[in-house]
Amino acid sequence: MTYIQKERKWQEEWQKAKLFHSDPDSREKLFITVAYPYPSGAMHIGHGRTYTVPDVYARFKRMQGYNVLFPMAWHVTGAPVIGIAKRIEKQDPWTLEIYKNVHKVPEDELNKFTDPEYIVKYFSTEYREVMINMGYSIDWRREFKTTDPHYQKFIEWQFHKLKDKGYVGKGKHPVKYCPEDQNPVGDHDLLEGEGVAINELTLVKFKMGDDYLVAATFRPETIYGITNLWLNPDAEYVRINIDDENWIISKKSYDNLIHQKLHAKITGEINPRELIGKYIQNTLTDAEHIILPASFVDPGYGTGVVYSVPGHAPADFIALKDLKKNSELLDKFQLTHVIEKLEPISIVQLKGFGEFPAEEMIEKLGVKNQNDPKLDEATNELYKLEHAKGVMKNIPDFSGLKVPLARDEIIKKLLDSKKGDVIYDFAQRPVICRCGTECVVRILEDQWFLKYSDETWKELAMDCLDNLSIVPEEVRANFEYYLDWLHDWACTRRLGLGTRLPWDKQWIIEPLSDSTIYMAYYAIAKYMKDVDAKALDDSFFDDVFLDADKYSGKIDPDLFSDIKNEFNYWYPLNWRLSAKDLVGNHLSFHIFHHSAIFPREKWPQGIVVFGMGLLEGNKMSSSKGNVILLQDAIKKYGADVVRLFLMSSAEPWQDFDWRENEVKGTKKRLEWFSEFSKRIEELKGSPLSLKSYKPVSDVEMPINSWILNQVNQRIKDATEALEGFQTRKALQEALFLFKKDIDYYLRRIGDEINPEISNVLVYILENWIRLMSPFVPHTCEEIWKDIEGEGFISEAEWPEYDEKLMDEKIRKAEEIVQGLNNDINEIKKIIGSKPEKIHIYVAPDWKWHVLELANESSKTNVGQIIGQSIKNNLHNDKKELADYVKKIARMMTKMKYVGKLDEYSIIKDSQAFLSKEAGAEVIVYKEPTYDPQNKSGNATPYKPAIFIETD
């Protein structure tokens, strides 16, 4: 059988035995969930890590005796698959390429992908298959998808609850929008302009006859410093009608504005050249300002109309300067006389600058003219400075106010008096949709919000966070930051799969908002196939989840009470696992919604955050084709190798890097492990069976004591690591270091085999399989069966370390042997000739006594130790004593004193080993009866002296 077939066999065995069906019983429960996947593509090794971590933890806890629930479902809510289906229908080459070659969808299946429902069905089926092939211990009876009618009832209930508590509100909201698709777009829908922010601009209306010339600005407070208006004489302008007013703006800006002012209509064209030289009236000051030409005005940004504040805006200053020099243009528009009178007006006091900061900024950066690229830098710099430190001056109501404050006041004044308005625009252009269309900012009216800004709600969420375990603890600060920062979240969409907002059916609840407390739904999901969705009214959920508002529907009372008990058994959720980029939304929402809906004792108890996946050092990304599909990895290496690699190469919250070479190394390591039992059989010369094995308590041989010490230490450390989700550390202990110990042990016992050793070997194997079982369950089942273990290893007990088998002295004793071995090696290398005999001298008793003395005194005081040694008559040769004390004074800080050891016996016992390693006869002396080069004096406790005799 190939390894794949073996793995399949065990997966089937587990299923047959219903090993992972978890139902309430008398054991302590453990409920762990991981973010359910959005099945819009194939599962790659990055997903593999995400789902393997909870599986390993679930298996570990199961072996510890917990009743563990690890469920799975499909998050099919949302718009992306709709976009995908459309693009497939349009035969978009990029999309087809990705789905054919990255997600490896067969041609005949791909044809059906014009139906979004089919896409999620296809991939969720595939996901389930891959998850089973990975050996995940999921209770599949609880599987559901978020568009199931039962789940939708649950979501409706949830939103009713939130609305009742006043946490749902209504308002307007600007979004990135694709006019072609007629739908809001997220960053992942963009070809260009990812991460571009939406800025709010203030519109200021300047009266000119029956029309308004409408300028857009980030800095409405500078309205008092206006000297003129700018139009681009080479751009097209139009007159539009909007709410009984006539506005003049650029034609290009109208295309954007129409998405925010839905009733605006073009009523005529305007030639900007005809406006130049005319006057408008300042909205707030009633002053008259002339309209002037400027090439820097971008007709596509804002409204294409700009008011000029040369005192505080570098662009305006330099444009005015340019114009004054441009006699040709001035003649053309007959402006020569008026322009001479235009001088900047100072209205913001800025520390470190004089009257006109704009002028200084231009000089500082050496901006040459209005088309100089450095102009942007000057503008941004001054904008930031004046915003942060500027104070208004020389103007009526606002002098002395800080700039941001004045800005808010002036915006309010403009809006209240209808002399201004608000418009949104992108911070950068262009923003282009995947369909190729340039996006705009659109205002969504009647948008529903979840009011995360609500103070009471925030406090509840913070409270919930305070009582939450977070792995790793460092991201707690992140959570605090996000919970505080989150404001109102638009929770409904026009488009996409999902649940309709129960009280306003034109809206669909947005995917991040319908996936916040669904973990509770797992508890009841397994009953839903016997229940008509229509029977699930709000009273049902109120009764099941909140023990309130008694259920009045048609479900059989016994069944109902089972459902309710089941929920109360599993909840609260012990662990929630999710990727780290979801800290700011999904995981925070998870906290918010639980704290809003459930009583305190049902609040979540722990969160684990994942890192990202790299592929040979590069970021993994399906859309860039830089992924390895999980099913391909399984085919190539087997599920256990994939699991083992994913769990051992990085801790869950760190980024892991899939490197083919290291994966191969992992494979070899696993093979070594799975063949270990055969090696033991060979050593023993008889088949292994756990049935004939006697538990180890006392052993005679020191090396056996040592390996028992090591095994128990590894068990202890691996267990502690797993408790904290440190899969990498756990595997360092349970696999790599464990193997190192075994390698050494086997070398150390040489060819010797006796009943004690063979029993110890079985002990090692038995514990090792148990430790490795959560990580490589298939391999372990296979070995477990071979050695006649009872039942499944997946159900076997997790090993517990035995304090009695652990002893520092045992370890130290072996360290002496290892140290000798290393030192002999090193000396051999230095002297460069073959040793004949190796003489080893142990430290005399008096050295132990002095060391003990030194160890007892808190600080290493050389003089004091010598004095005490003399006083206690420890040694007669004072010079030797003093030298020795100086030596150990240095040593003391570098070693741990564990008490006196019988070095002679220790070395005697390892004599054969040392001799074999060194390739020379080894002689141990209690007393230096033969010591031609006086090496014995070098002996210190834990470090016997060596004399190598050559020739």
Partner RNA sequence: GCAGGGGUGCCCGAGCUGGCCAAAGGGGACAGGCUUAGGACCUGUUGGCGUAGGCCUCCGUGGGUUCAAAUCCCAUCCCCUGCACCA
Closer to RNA by Cβ: residue 28 or 484? 484
Residue with tokens 């797992």: 522
For 790, the token pair is 């009872």
| 449 or 522: CB nearest RNA | 449
Beta bridge partners of 657: 614
Please say which residue, 313 or 491, places its beta carbon nearer to RNA. Answer: 491
Measured between alpha carbons, how far is 157 from 624 in angstroms, rounded to an integer?
40
Rg (CA), the chain: 39
Q: Are 315 and 252 in contact (CB under 8 A)?
A: no
Smallest separation (angstroms) from RNA to the CB of 436: 18
802 by DSSP, 3-state: which? coil
CA–CA dist 401, 410 (Å, integer): 11
Q: Which is nearer to RNA, 668 or 678 (CB)?
A: 668
In the complex with RNA, which residue's Cβ is closer, 13 or 488?
488
**In the complex, least distance from residue 818 CB atom to RNA, rounded to whole angstroms:** 9
DSSP output for 270-314: E-HHHHTT-EEE-TTT--EEEEEE-TT--TTSTTSEEEE-TTT-H
Q: How far is the CB of 938 from RNA (least distance, A)?
A: 3
Cβ proximity to RNA: between 313 and 945 the closer is 945
Nearer to RNA, 8 or 387 (CB): 387
- Nearest to residue 455, comparing CAs of 166, 220, 172, 882? 166
Task: Provide the minimum distance between the beta carbon of 648 and RNA in the complex, in angstroms, as a whole number.
Answer: 8
Spatial distance between the Cα atoms of 940 and 888, rounded to a whole number of angstroms: 8
Closer residue to RNA, CB minimum distance, 71 or 184: 184
Specify the residue, 323 or 735, whose C-beta has the smaller distance to RNA: 735
| Rounded least distance, CB 196 to RNA, Å | 8
Least Cβ distance, residue 381 to RNA (angstroms): 11
CB of 226 to RNA, least distance (A): 28
Residues in the chain: 951
Instruction: State which residue, 13 or 949, has the beta carbon closest to RNA.
Output: 949
Residue with smaller CB distance to RNA, 80 or 225: 80
**Residues 602, 570: contact at Cβ < 8 Å?**
no
* Nearest-approach distance from CB 483 to RNA, in angstroms: 11
In the bound complex, what is the minimum distance in angstroms from residue 423's beta carbon to RNA?
17
Give whole-number Cα distances, 889 to 854, 857, 882, 941, 946, in Å: 8, 11, 10, 13, 22
The three-class DSSP label of residue 252 is helix
Buried b (16+ CB within 10 A) or exposed e, 195-217: ebeeeebbbbbbebeebbbbbbb
Tell me the closest approach of the beta carbon of residue 621 to RNA, in angstroms: 11
CB closer to RNA out of 40 and 794? 40
DSSP secondary structure letters along 605-648: -EEEEE--EEETTEE-BGGGTB--BHHHHHHHH-HHHHHHHHHH
Minimum gap (Å) between residue 842 Cβ and RNA: 10
Measured from the CB atom, the residue of 825 and 857 that comes closer to RNA is 825
Q: Of the two residues 344 and 611, which places its CB atom closer to RNA in the complex?
A: 611
H or E element at residue 129: helix 116-133
**Closest residue by Cα to residue 920 from 828, 829, 817, 826:** 828
C-alpha dist (Å) from residue 734 to 553, 722, 731:
53, 10, 5
Pick the closest to residue 82 from 515, 498, 623 (CA basis).
498
The structure tokens 């009257």 sit at 355
Shortest distance in whole angstroms from residue 427 CB to RNA = 10
Query: How far is CA 932 from each of CA 935, 948, 950, rounded to the nearest angstrom?
Result: 8, 11, 13
Give CA–CA dist 598/517, Å, rounded: 9
In angstroms, give the least distance from the CB of 910 to RNA: 14
Nearer to RNA, 737 or 882 (CB): 737
Q: Is 366 left (phi over 0), alpha (psi -120 to 50) or beta?
A: left
Contacts (Cβ under 8 Å, ≥6 apart) of 683: 753, 758, 761
Cα-Cα-Cα-Cα dihedral sign, residues 496, 502, 503, 505:
positive
Least distance in angstroms from the C-beta of 766 to RNA: 20
* Shortest distance in whole angstroms from residue 592 CB to RNA: 11
Do 214 and 247 meet the contact criterion of CB atoms below 8 Å apart? yes
We find the least distance from the C-beta atom of residue 263 to RNA, in angstroms, to be 24
Is the four-CA dihedral 428, 433, 437, 443 of positive or negative sign?
negative
Q: How far is the CB of 948 from RNA (least distance, A)?
A: 4
Q: CB-wise, 229 or 722, nearer to RNA?
A: 722
Residue 79, classed as helix, strand or coil, is coil
Q: Which is nearer to RNA, 36 or 846 (CB)?
A: 36
Secondary structure element (H or E) that encloses residue 119, with its range: helix 116-133
Please, which residue, 324 or 739, has the CB nearer to RNA? 739
Nearest to 323 by CA among 360, 297, 353: 297
Question: Cβ of residue 607: shortest distance to RNA, in angstroms?
Answer: 14
Report DSSP letters for 511-566, one per residue. TTTSSSSTHHHHHHHTTGGGS-GGG--HHHHHHHHHS-S---SSS-HHHHHHHHHH
